[in-house]
Amino acid sequence: MTAVTGTLVLTAFAVKLASGEGPAVDGLLLAASLVGGLPIVVQAVQSLRVRVVSIDLLVTMAILGAFAIREFEESAVVTFLFLFGAYLEQKTLTKTRSAIKGLVEMAPEVALRMSEDGTFEEVAIDDVEVGDTLLVKTGGKIPVDGTVVRGGGSANEASITGEPLPVAKDVGDKVFAGTILENGTIQLTAEKVGEDTTFGKIIELVEEAQDSKSQAERFIDRFSRYYTPAVLALTIIVWLVTRNMEMAITILVLGCPGALVIGVPVSNVSGIGNGARNGILFKGSEVISKFGKVDTILFDKTGTLTYGNPRVAQMLYYARDHQLVEDLLVSVEKESSHPLAKAIVGAYPNARQHPVESTKVIQGGGVVASVAGHQVLVGNAHLMDANGVPLSSRARQDVDGLEAAGNSLVLVAIDGQLALVVGIKDQVRTGVAEDLAALRKMGVKNLILLSGDNQGTVDLVSKELGLSEAHGGLLPEDKAEFVRSRKKLGETVAFVGDGINDSPSLTLADIGIAMGNGTDVAIETSNVILMNSDFHRIPHALGLAKATRCNMVENIVISLVVVVVLLVSVFASTWMNMAIGMFVHEGSILVVILNAMRLLRY
């Protein structure tokens, strides 16, 4: 309807320029008023049914008044501007709920349950009950929350904790629904099923947060509660006192705040356009308004403050022939799909690969292999001890130091002698400390780290970046509860994350900021998306939000001042009429548009 109305108005003006006034021009403007006025009238009637005198009613009466005195140009322009503003608001604030569907589709649908005769049969996930014994094989999804009772392996828990490194699982360890057993075979006892699982709670939290995050009333609607009845009352009083219908309708038309209708949306569109050009996607005007008030920002660690990919941070050699050590290590690690193995292979791009003659995986320890006539051990300190590889006091000090610095360790022994210790960790993004300092200068009081990683690693990252607080070992529901607690303190909270596990917090926060290479669920439940996962865009995004919010206020002030001047002039001067008033109206609309366009150069 907005497009049709605008086309009719433009066509009418084109005909008017070509052939002057006439029935064709009036017909086109009348058609534009009727087509565009229909949804406005419907909204006005619906508002009256619930005893709300909205700005839609004022616009409706102005259109009807313009009809009465045959000022079709005014009615058509007012109609189009109002429709266009409403369209921009609705378009940018539409929330997607496809994230819920994406989460549900990730949940396991079947499970292997032990029957009475000790065999395992495939059953629907809804048939699994607490106490059932389930079997999970390599590559399978763990269907419920439970405890391992037999076997072992390593599970990728990124969907729950957001951490990329697999977690070793042995008898007695807890496992979570929706995580993936990357290697090994386990049997587990079901303890939480269905909606009670950690993964089920993530889905529930996202649904709850999306339902409870109501759209804030636009300023125009709040203003119209008082403004609309006042203008209507003024119109009636003028008509009763003067019996001058044209003056009364003029007040209605001039009182219609055209610049106010278009001023706020056009500021938002300019701000959103600037953001898109700079790799920042704002999901609507309400997001910009709230973002400008943020005083607390919560950060996920992995993939947000860090790159999210383990990298070799340090290499300590204990053998003279470095090339041989690297060649044998890479030969073994190329046989593995483990994230640490991938990090090591990536760190030695020039290593020569030898054929691996035999490989034995030691659960919870590492790999024992035979390569080019050498015995090669790759794993942790327990693997070295179990195979009688001596560690000197210097080596043990090095191991302790690397662990204290937050590294995951890979020890390499060749023919019974320690040859290399590799420290691997997720690296902090370059320039993050400077970005955080910029946020503080913009008025963000609290910069807090929330992570599923261990507290020691989290504290190291926090100390390196100078954060206000750091909390580790958190599950998704813990992060979500932390967001709630900060909001209860009256803080305006933004959360920055990239994983499925972050989606409840992204949705619960006043502003959810997702990294562009994160999961679809995180992106769809967020309010702001950083394309290409460029963390350095956050200060620009906050500054732009503040500038856009200020620009909106400026446009509102300009619009209201113009309306007040016009209405006063109707009574205080003899020169004010509808034509001059509409000219000033159009001028004020141009002013607010030009003012908003300044944001494109921010």
Q: What phi and psi values does residue 310 have, to the nearest 5 degrees? A: -60, 135
Among 132, 300, 398, 426, the active-site one is: 300
Q: Is there a contact between 286 and 391 (Cβ–Cβ < 8 Å)?
A: no
Q: Dihedrals φ, ψ of 509, to 5°?
A: -65, 155
Helix H or strand E segment including 552: helix 537-572
Complete DSSP assignment for 83-148:
HHHHHHHHHHHPPP-HHHHHHHHHS--EEEEE-TTS-EEEEEGGG--TT-EEEE-TTPBP-SEEEE
Helix (H, G, I), strand (E, B) or coil at 419: strand
Instruction: Give the tokens for residue 128.
Output: 């699994």
Closest CA to 258 of 558, 471, 601: 558
- Return the structure tokens found at 266: 């056009």
Instruction: Give the pairing of strands 167-169 and 133-136.
Output: unpaired
Give the start-end residues of each E strand in 332-416.
Answer: 356-362, 366-371, 374-379, 408-414
Type of residue at 49: R
For residues 599 and 288, is the Cβ–Cβ distance under 8 A?
A: no
Chain mean position to CA 403:
33
* Cα 59–Cα 61–Cα 64 angle in degrees, nearest 5: 110
User: How many angstroms separate the CA atoms of 180 and 167, rounded?
Assistant: 10
Q: What are the Cα distances from residue 62, in Å, to 6, 240, 246, 536, 581?
A: 18, 18, 12, 48, 14
Give all strands of the β-sheet with 417-428 in edge-to-edge order. Answer: 306-317, 417-428, 408-414, 374-379, 366-371, 356-362
Q: Count other Cβ atoms within 10 Å, centred on residue 593.
A: 17
Of 283, 252, 319, the residue nearest 512 (C-alpha): 283
Strand pairing category for 528-530 and 511-515:
parallel
Phi first, then psi: give them for residue 330, nearest 5 degrees: -65, -35
What b/e sequence results for 221-251 when a residue is b if at least 16 CB atoms lie within 10 Å of its CB, and e otherwise? eebbeebbeebbebbeebbeeeeeeebbbbb
Active site residue 300: yes
Query: How many Å from the N-terminal Cα to the C-terminal Cα in the chain?
Result: 33
| Residue numbers annotated as active site | 300
